[in-house]
């Protein structure tokens, strides 16, 4: 069969060696995203065997892994665009399939490319808190991560020869100089998107933060008391009158049940700790928290050493209303029921009258507007 009038491409920079050179960086970015994603999944929704093993040190551990996840995720945008530009002429090869093996290979690449584009698009919309999809983010992002990892492994495995050859120098390669320019341009693209966003978690780069959706810089819209507000009291639909009423009580349930007023909480020994909030969406900020040690509160109601707890927010609905805290965080002296942040009484938006702050835990589990703490075992 004669070929239809397909577009023709000069070989320059659309060659396998260039695809491999770009692919190395792309593969590294995907690997970092995959591994840090596994960490996020494990820390946020640990299976039963893992929950007691989760470390509370370093206190900034999740801040680093999730900051890296979102930073590498953003860097994947220029990397993916360059990679697709290098290889897109392959869409037009004739004949489109040469054998069964070739058909399967091309099919697996279709899966790889779709999964990569979708994974990145989902991640980007999620960090801007825009949810245009009819499905929930997390389970889809999680499943796609495995599809992507599997199809990438297959893709690299099938081309192992080319990938290995790509590391070897070729004398007199006429494309070498152009390829180096392309990689430099790609590097500049990565640097640009990284430097203008990573300040949302890497404090010294805050002044460059032009594109990040959240900015912990005081004075920025949506930031008070030195912390961005992830979901305001109004957005969470909490009853401000109830939370600020003198009749407000915190219920703590163990062997006994106690109901403590805000005055009673303030009369207990207060501790001040510097701990970060590390949002799963990639921003983070450290703050100085003052309040009651969770372990002190639990000792008052006769909780056993090694207990885990359930924390219930005054928020009426939503995914963060109920939180379970494994024993390791519960017994940690840094885990506080915080009443103050950065020297001020918590604002309603930051969880007044009392919120949880625990070391090395994702922001989603730093429950605000705590109403009830129950010992589980
Ligand atoms: C190769 C690309 C990527 C892979 C393999 C990947 C993988 C993962 C995995 C496995 C998780 C854990 C999901 C769970 O807890 O069940 C995760 C979480 C997350 N990822 Fe990605 N990801 C990728 C790209 C991105 C990008 C580009 C962004 C945004 C720029 C992003 C943002 C997020 C966010 C915000 C979470 C936390 C979700 C939550 O806990 O609510 N990811 N990712
Ligand atoms: N009850 C409740 N607690 C919550 C949330 C929420 O929506 N409801 N959001 C969580 C998330 S995702 C983060 S990152 C932190 C942010 O705390 P901040 O708004 O005080 O900065 O609060 C956490 N605690
Ligand atoms: Mo968050």
Q: Where are the domains of the chain?
A: 16-208, 228-375
Q: 326: Cβ below 6 Å to ligand 1?
A: no
Peptide bond just before 205 cis, omega within 30 deg: no
Which range (34-43, 123-132, 202-211, 332-341) has the least confidence? 202-211
Per residue in 335-352, pLDDT (tens digit) is: 999 999 999 999 999 999
H/E stretch holding 253 reads: strand 250-253
C-beta atoms surrounding 99 within 10 Å: 8
Residue nearest to atom 28 of ligand 1 (CA): 123
Q: 142: Cβ below 6 Å to ligand 1?
A: yes
Contact call for residues 279 and 215 (beta carbons, < 8 A): no
Q: 59: Cβ below 6 Å to ligand 1?
A: no
- 38-52: average pLDDT: 97
C-beta atoms surrounding 177 within 10 Å: 9
C-beta atoms surrounding 31 within 10 Å: 13
Residue scoring higher pLDDT (207 or 73): 73
Q: 138: Cβ below 6 Å to ligand 1?
A: yes
Question: Which ligand has the shortest distance to the CA of 126?
Answer: 1
Contact call for residues 195 and 208 (beta carbons, < 8 A): yes
Q: 363: Cβ below 6 Å to ligand 2?
A: yes
Question: DSSP 3-state assignment of 101?
Answer: helix
Residues with CB under 5 A from ligand 3 (ion): 230, 279, 363-364
Angle at CA of residue 327, ends 322 and 333, nearest 5°: 100
Separation between Cα atoms, residue 169 and residue 39, nearest integer Å: 37
Burial bucket for residue 10 (CB in 10 Å: 0-12, 13-18, 19+)? exposed
Q: 311: Cβ below 6 Å to ligand 2?
A: no
Separation between Cα atoms, residue 45 and residue 51, nearest integer Å: 8
Per residue in 106-115, pLDDT (tens digit) is: 999 999 999 9
Mean pLDDT, the chain, whole residue set = 94
Q: What is the pLDDT of residue 286?
A: 95
- 212-240: average pLDDT: 84
Separation between Cα atoms, residue 128 and residue 121, nearest integer Å: 11
Strand partners, 357: 336
Residue ranges in the chain assigned as alpha helix (H): 16-44, 61-87, 100-127, 137-158, 160-165, 176-195, 233-236, 240-244, 262-267, 294-300, 327-331
Q: Please say if the pLDDT value at position 220 is more than 80.
A: no
CA 139 to ligand 1: nearest atom:
16
Tell me which CATH homologous superfamily contains domain 228-375.
Answer: Oxidoreductase, molybdopterin-binding domain (3.90.420.10)
- 41-68: average pLDDT: 97
Strand partners, 325: 309
Residue nearest to atom 11 of ligand 1 (CA): 37
Per residue in 268-300, pLDDT (tens digit) is: 999 999 999 999 999 999 999 999 999 999 999
Q: What is the pLDDT of residue 9?
A: 67
The CATH-assigned architecture of domain 16-208 is Up-down Bundle (1.20)
Q: Please say if the pLDDT value at position 216 is more than 90.
A: no
Mutational test site, ligand 1, from 115, 141, 319, max ligand atoms within 8 Å of CB: 141
CA 232 to ligand 2: nearest atom:
19
Which range (99-103, 204-208, 237-241) has the least confidence? 204-208
Question: Which ligand has the shortest distance to the CA of 44?
Answer: 1
């Amino acid at each position: 069969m004669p070929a239809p009038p397909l577009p023709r491409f000069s070989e320059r920079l659309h060659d396998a060696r260039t695809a491999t050179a770009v692919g190395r960086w792309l593969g590294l970015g995907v690997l970092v995203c995959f591994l840090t994603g596994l960490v996020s999944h494990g820390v946020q929704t640990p299976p039963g065997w893992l929950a007691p093993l989760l470390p509370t040190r370093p206190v900034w551990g999740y801040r680093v892994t999730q900051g890296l996840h979102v930073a590498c995720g953003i860097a994947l945008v220029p990397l993916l665009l360059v990679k697709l530009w290098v290889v897109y002429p392959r869409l037009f090869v004739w004949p489109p399939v040469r054998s069964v093996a070739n058909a399967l290979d091309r099919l697996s690449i279709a899966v790889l490319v779709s999964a990569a584009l979708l994974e990145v698009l989902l991640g980007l919309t999620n960090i801007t808190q825009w949810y245009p999809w009819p499905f929930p983010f997390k389970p889809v992002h999680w499943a796609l991560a495995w599809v992507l990892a599997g199809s990438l492994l297959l893709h690299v495995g099938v081309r192992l020869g080319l990938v290995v050859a790509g590391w070897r120098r070729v004398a007199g390669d006429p494309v070498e100089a152009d390829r180096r320019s392309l990689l430099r341009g790609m590097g500049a693209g990565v640097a640009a998107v990284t430097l203008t966003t990573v300040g949302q978690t890497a404090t010294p780069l805050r002044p460059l933060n032009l594109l990040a959706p959240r900015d912990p810089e005081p004075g920025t819209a949506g930031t008070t008391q030195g912390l961005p507000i992830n979901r305001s009291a109004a957005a969470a639909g909490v009853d401000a009158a109830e939370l600020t009423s003198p009749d407000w009580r915190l219920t703590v349930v163990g062997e006994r049940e106690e109901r403590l007023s805000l005055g009673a909480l303030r009369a207990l020994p207060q501790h001040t700790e510097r701990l970060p909030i590390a949002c799963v969406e990639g921003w983070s900020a450290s703050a100085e928290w003052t309040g009651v040690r969770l372990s002190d509160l639990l000792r008052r109601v006769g909780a056993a050493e090694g207990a885990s707890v359930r924390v219930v927010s005054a928020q009426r609905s939503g995914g963060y209303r109920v939180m379970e805290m494994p024993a390791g965080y519960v017994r940690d002296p840094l885990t506080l029921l915080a009443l103050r942040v950065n020297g001020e009484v918590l604002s309603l938006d930051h969880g007044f009258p009392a919120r949880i702050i625990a070391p090395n835990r994702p922001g989603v589990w730093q429950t605000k507007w705590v109403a009830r703490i129950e010992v589980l075992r």
